[in-house]
A and B are shown apart, each in its own frame.
Chain A
Amino acid sequence: MLSKRIIACLDVRDGHVVKGVNFEGLREAGDPGALARRYNAEGIDEVVILDVTATAETRQARANTIRAVAGELFIPLAVGGGVRSEADAEAAIGAGADKVSLNTAALERPGLIEALARRYGSQAVVVAVDAKREGARFAVYARSGRATTGRDAVEWAREAAARGAGEILLTSIDRDGTRRGFDCELTAAVSAAVNVPVIASGGAGSFDHFVEVFTAGRADAALAASVFHFAEHGVAALKAHLAKRGIPVRL
Chain B
Amino acid sequence: MLSGAISNRLGVLVLLIISYILNSMNLTLKIWRQQNRTAKGGFKTYKVSDVSPDMSFLEMIDVLNDKLIREGEDPVAFDHDCREGICGMCSMYINGRPHGPGKGITTCQLHMRSFQDGDHITIEPWRAAPFPVIKDLAVDRSAFDRIMQAGGFISVNTGNAQEANNILIPKEEADHAFSAAACIGCGACVAVCKNASAMLFVSAKVSQLAQLPQGQVEAKERVLQMVAQMDAEGFGSCSNTYACEAECPKLISCDNIARMNREYLKSSLT
A and B form one complex: no
Q: Which B residues are within 8 Å of any A CB, using their own CB?
A: none
